[in-house]
Structure 1
Amino acid sequence: MHVTLPDGTRLELPEGATGHDAAAAIGPGLAKAAVAVRVGDEIRDLALPLADGDAITIVTPKSGDDYLYVMRHSAAHVTAEAVGAVIPGARLGFGPPIEDGFYYDFELPRPLTEEDFPAIEAEIARIRSAKAPFARSVMSIDDARAYFAERDDTYKVDQVEELARQGEETVSLYRQRDFVDLCRGPHVQDTGRIGPVKLLSVAGAYWRGSEKNPQLTRLYATAFTSKADLDAHLERLEQARARDHRRLGRDLGLFHFDDYGPGFPFFLPRGMTVVNGIKAAVRDELETMGYDEIQTPTMLSDELWKISGHWDHYRDNMYFAEVEDQRFAIKPMNCPGACLVYRSRRHSYRELPLRFAEFGHVHRHELSGVLHGLFRVRAFTQDDAHVFCRLDQVQDEVRAVLALTDRFYRRFGFERVDLKLSTKPEKAVGTPEMWEAAEEALRNALGDRPYGIKEGDGAFYGPKIDFEVTDVMGRAWQLGTCQLDFNFPERFDLTYTTADDTEERPVMIHRAITGSLERFLGILIENTGGDFPLWLAPEQARVLPVADRHAPYAEAVRTRLRERGLRAEVDGRSGSVGRRIRDGELDKVPFLLVVGDTEADAGTASVRARHGGDRGTMPLGELADWLAAEAQSSAAP
């Protein structure tokens, strides 16, 4: 048999050779350093056999993210052992590596709190210093079931039984010291190869992600190969905490979550101002691009969702209600409603393209364990648009969407936008010729733009382009999408009359720019740290009277600013001006205007800019004109 190395070299090996055999065949130094082998997209234990033709990479401490993945997997086992030592009686769930760290789920006889962290971290340090080897063994399904049942490891027994249902006949276990865990691996050679570990937080998590199962305690942690790397990561986490949209949303009075509606955000007046600003920016684009805005019902007959296919593929994520013995569904998506709008009357080829836009409020059932601020909610607003066009019009429509995203993301400070083209999946509707033409139209529309390819990742109804933005923390978010759809026009029997008086089906383009207004706002809050640009700030100026006698003039200043279309308030509370200036800075108000005797007598205001410091004293009329011009210029794409 042979395997292929990263440089394309073919390495001949005996039949049944393992990853360790491959490393040894390349060289003794590599065999000593090897911790795992990457086979395609999978990182495996070195003891597992390779197959003829496998493309492999030997994982060593110099392998970057692959090595971190293996090392963090090992750190999860050590952490589980440490928790069991600090809290005897802990039952083990899952403990996988994740992006930037790992977690482990436990059923515990008492609550685990951050006060336990020092003791657990000290135990982790002792286990690391022992340099105990990770030893792999194999058991039959029956022996493994009996082994964990005898140890009263309920969740491990459940995992063994699930593997049996999947057809597995044996399972692998890993031991370090006296700690044994069910695991596929791989792991580093010994506990001394694990870098510094830091426990981060505690959360709840349902076993296997189902709210029908017991809720376990999830301990999040991370590990790096060096203390310097760990410290740099912790610094990034601290910056992220300072920008956490949930905290800023509360502190800035933007939105609220209530126990009476978990996962359903309440937008407060200041937050609604920002949401309306985002909507206005979208509508500015719609007006110039020939879109017609529509509104479709929030609740529609369940028969509609059977036609659309959501009943078969999305029913568990939908909410339902009954009215006069008829079953309705609360919409999780806007597309079927847009199809009904198109179908409400006949259309000619001369009318196409038709562009329908909607700020549709949708509801999707999410498990409580995955709800996360505005990023994962049960109700949100999509800035959807559905374009109905001929196939020969697709390229121009997609180019218009690309230009729109360029302008829109730049307006909100997102400079890096990565494009991904997803092509035909295995299960797809439409003819091969139609798919070929659609994918070619998307490629031509992309032109010279750099983009990635996601082979086979298109929707079953058509190929798509996804838009990923990178925020100030270096995190990538998929926001917008542009999808071609041949399925809905077929399902809903949508047609248009051609030039020779025949009926043809339009192509349906699903287009979203923010994706979800709520999620977009959450990202924007974290990207800006709540320090919105002037045009979007919920409070653009705050007037601070020095004493009570200056309150009437402060009100006059506010009135003058509001007449110029500015959002201005007065902070007339008792207390020092310095304290109120500090409060204005904490509230991230762009301009603070101080007025006392001198300003009231002269008809001026002392201007303090959040970015730029003291701007001196300005006449009221000049100030209002200047602030209005600043707000307008800050809104430019």
Structure 2
Amino acid sequence: MLYPDGSLELVGNAKLDRRSPLARMVGYETDKQRTAKQEPPHIKLMQQLELVDREPGSDQGNLRWYPKGVLIKRLLEEKVGRLVRSAGAMEVETPEMYDYHHPCMEKYLARFPARQYRLLSGDKPYFMRFAACFGQFLIASDAQISYRHLPLRLYELAHSSYRREKSGELAGLRRLRGFTMPDMHTLVGDLPQGLEEFGYQYRLSMEWMDSLGVPYEAAMRAQQEFFDENRDFYTGLAKLLGRPMLLELFDRRYAYFITKFEFNVVDTQGKAAAMSTVQIDVENGKRFNIEYVDHDGSRRHPYVLHTSLSGSIDRNLYALLEHAAAEMARGAKPQLPFWLAPTQLRLLPVSSTHTDHCLKLAQTFAAAGFRVDVDDRDAGIGRKVRDGEKEWVPLLAIYGEKEAASGKLALRDRTGGQSELSPEALQTLMEERQGEEPHRPLPLPVRLSLRPKFYG
């Protein structure tokens, strides 16, 4: 364990609360048991909320996404895209399959065999990418790069990536065979510049994780000699985090990286799943013949930082749903962040005579950038409230004769409490909760009576 004061302690000697996320992550990492013995609760939640489901017509671990799930996915993608672009990344797009016998690929795959999907085009073998590394490395190897361009950041929303995980390890959104990975690679001239960029991307990753509102723990890995030479740097990262982190030190490199970190979420079953991660790669700049011209005119191979500030988009939804399941187990109402809620406000007309006004209000709120629907079904108000609760709609607003007379809506807030608000005050409330987060329109018809049922 590495503590914020810089001290180290063997995991076996650390006095951790066995119920804490950190202790459970440590147990998961030391146990190395990756097989899921029972179905995690987020699977039932993703189905009941009509977000995602298994696809029996495809290979295991390749899922179907319903409209509400696609909405959440696109919002997460847009948010992480904003973050990497604000960090100076240039967005590219690369193929999903690669020549298995390409000289660079063959060397890479021989050293680091992965669980690949393979296919033939005629008699020529290809593999489906499991990250955007290959395409970005090939772009960089053909580019003319100066030391003045460093650090140079390339980014791709790798939609999709494929990894043929063992069937026993597949568990809903936690581990998939087909997934979406926001993937950034940064070229740096030397290790001091690499550490500076590593620290910067560590802070960006913290910003991402904090914005989700999901508890997370850190795991750091480093070659012993490199750690000893840069111990103050690592202590600074632990201090920035403000709590202990798991530290793995190794004498000989077993992979291409000299150091890496992961921010992990720990689910209701005690399984840890990596989200944000950054690695300093000391091999692939040379392997893929990436070069830059240094200030003295010499040609050098850069080091490469492999980065996903968010981890896979699919796993982010897993983290949110598992956190909600934990809240349910504690007796709290589960909910998604307001900006990710498929319906942010549902208007509940008391009778059919109030439906037209609710539809006009919905149109006004939608024009202001919010996702608002109207429960126009022939059902009692109690049923409409219960159904809104089951869908985790954050705001339910009742409109009937009383509300028509007062000019205010009877609001039920999922975060707690009831109130009466004018449409203007309600819009102000939604603006405060939305903040500067990305927004997209409602993914389904405004009228609930016009919606198909995708699950159950």
Q: Which one of the candidate residues 402, 405, 420 is aligned to 2:202?
A: 402
Any conservation in 1 of the 2:129–2:162 contact (CA below 8 Å)?
A: yes
Any conservation in 1 of the 2:112–2:255 contact (CA below 8 Å)?
A: no
In 1, Cα distance between equivalents of 2:259 and 2:383: 53
Aligned residue in 1 for 2:136? 338
Match status 1:362 vs 2:161: yes
Match status 1:274 vs 2:68: no
Q: How does 1:298-309 map to 2 (within 5 A)?
A: 298-304=96-102, 307=105, 309=107
In 2, Cα distance between equivalents of 1:614 and 1:634: 25
Q: Which one of the candidate residues 210, 223, 233 is aligned to 1:444?
A: 233
Q: How does 1:30-429 map to 2 (within 5 A)?
A: 244-261=41-58, 262-304=60-102, 307=105, 309-312=107-110, 317-360=115-158, 361-391=160-190, 392-423=192-223
In 2, Cα distance between equivalents of 1:452 and 1:41: 8
Any conservation in 2 of the 1:257–1:266 contact (CA below 8 Å)?
A: yes
In 1, Cα distance between equivalents of 2:261 and 2:93: 25
Aligned residue in 1 for 2:385? 581
CA deviation map 1:85-111 (0-9, x unaligned): xxxxxxxxxxxxx97xx9xxxxxxxxx
Q: How far off is 1:458 after superposition? A: 5.0
In 2, Cα distance between equivalents of 1:629 and 1:536: 14
Instruction: Give the 3 Å change call, closer, same or farther, for CA 565–441 of structure 1 in structure 2.
Output: farther
Instruction: Give the 3 Å change call, closer, same or farther, for CA 446–304 of structure 1 in structure 2.
Output: farther
Instruction: Give the 3 Å change call, closer, same or farther, for CA 445–289 of structure 1 in structure 2.
Output: farther
Q: For residue 524 of structure 1, what is the amino acid of its counterpart? A: L
In 1, Cα distance between equivalents of 2:228 and 2:66: 43
Instruction: Give the 3 Å change call, closer, same or farther, for CA 555–516 of structure 1 in structure 2.
Output: same
In 2, Cα distance between equivalents of 1:352 and 1:538: 40
Match status 1:488 vs 2:284: yes
Q: For residue 185 of structure 2, what is the amino acid of its counterpart? A: H
In 1, Cα distance between equivalents of 2:11 and 2:401: 72
Aligned residue in 2 for 1:628? 431
* TM-score when normalising by structure 2: 0.78
Q: For residue 582 of structure 1, what is the amino acid of its counterpart? A: R
Match status 1:591 vs 2:395: yes
Instruction: Give the 3 Å change call, closer, same or farther, for CA 268–459 of structure 1 in structure 2.
Output: farther
SS at match of 2:81: helix
Identity %: 25
Q: How far off is 1:258 after superposition? A: 1.8
Any conservation in 1 of the 2:79–2:437 contact (CA below 8 Å)?
A: no
Instruction: Give the 3 Å change call, closer, same or farther, for CA 342–446 of structure 1 in structure 2.
Output: farther
Instruction: Give the 3 Å change call, closer, same or farther, for CA 447–285 of structure 1 in structure 2.
Output: same
Any conservation in 2 of the 1:307–1:491 contact (CA below 8 Å)?
A: no
Aligned residue in 2 for 1:29? none
CA deviation map 1:96-153 (0-9, x unaligned): xx97xx9xxxxxxxxxxxxxxxxxxxxxxxxxxxxxxxxxxxxxxxxxxxxxxxxxxx
Higher RCO structure, 1 or 2 (CA under 8 Å, sep 6+): 2
Q: Which one of the candidate residues 517, 520, 532 is aligned to 2:336?
A: 532
SS at match of 1:532: coil
Q: How far off is 1:439 after superposition? A: 7.2
In 2, Cα distance between equivalents of 1:245 and 1:339: 36
Any conservation in 2 of the 1:534–1:634 contact (CA below 8 Å)?
A: no
Any conservation in 1 of the 2:100–2:127 contact (CA below 8 Å)?
A: yes
Q: How far off is 1:299 after superposition? A: 1.3
In 2, Cα distance between equivalents of 1:570 and 1:273: 18
In 1, Cα distance between equivalents of 2:257 and 2:167: 32
SS at match of 2:418: strand
Q: How far off is 1:626 after superposition? A: 2.5
Q: How far off is 1:472 after superposition? A: 7.4
SS at match of 1:466: strand
Q: How far off is 1:609 after superposition? A: 0.6
Deviates more, 1:605-614 or 1:593-602: 593-602
Any conservation in 2 of the 1:396–1:445 contact (CA below 8 Å)?
A: no
Instruction: Give the 3 Å change call, closer, same or farther, for CA 634–278 of structure 1 in structure 2.
Output: closer
Q: How far off is 1:305 after superposition? A: 7.4
Any conservation in 2 of the 1:394–1:441 contact (CA below 8 Å)?
A: no
Q: For residue 335 of structure 2, what is the amino acid of its counterpart? A: D
Any conservation in 2 of the 1:398–1:442 contact (CA below 8 Å)?
A: no
Deviates more, 1:320-329 or 1:381-390: 320-329
In 1, Cα distance between equivalents of 2:128 and 2:280: 25
Any conservation in 2 of the 1:318–1:329 contact (CA below 8 Å)?
A: yes
Any conservation in 2 of the 1:467–1:478 contact (CA below 8 Å)?
A: yes
Q: How far off is 1:442 after superposition? A: 7.7
Structure 1 unaligned blocks of 5 or more: 1-39, 43-56, 58-63, 66-97, 103-208, 210-217, 221-236, 425-434
Aligned residue in 1 for 2:443? none
SS at match of 2:255: coil
Q: How far off is 1:574 after superposition? A: 0.8
Q: How far off is 1:364 after superposition? A: 1.3
Structure 2 unaligned blocks of 5 or more: 1-9, 19-26, 239-243, 326-333, 439-456
Any conservation in 1 of the 2:216–2:265 contact (CA below 8 Å)?
A: yes
* TM-score when normalising by structure 1: 0.57
CA deviation map 1:159-205 (0-9, x unaligned): xxxxxxxxxxxxxxxxxxxxxxxxxxxxxxxxxxxxxxxxxxxxxxx
Q: For residue 97 of structure 2, what is the amino acid of its counterpart? A: M
Q: For residue 186 of structure 2, what is the amino acid of its counterpart? A: V
SS at match of 2:435: helix
Any conservation in 2 of the 1:533–1:634 contact (CA below 8 Å)?
A: no
Aligned residue in 1 for 2:313? 517
Match status 1:454 vs 2:258: no
Q: For residue 308 of structure 2, what is the amino acid of its counterpart? A: A
Q: For residue 388 of structure 1, what is the amino acid of its counterpart? A: L
Q: How far off is 1:252 after superposition? A: 0.5
Any conservation in 2 of the 1:304–1:336 contact (CA below 8 Å)?
A: no
In 2, Cα distance between equivalents of 1:335 and 1:442: 29
- Cα-Cα RMSD: 3.2
Q: How far off is 1:481 after superposition? A: 2.0
Instruction: Give the 3 Å change call, closer, same or farther, for CA 448–551 of structure 1 in structure 2.
Output: closer
Q: For residue 249 of structure 1, what is the amino acid of its counterpart? A: M
Any conservation in 1 of the 2:347–2:397 contact (CA below 8 Å)?
A: yes
Aligned residue in 2 for 1:502? 298
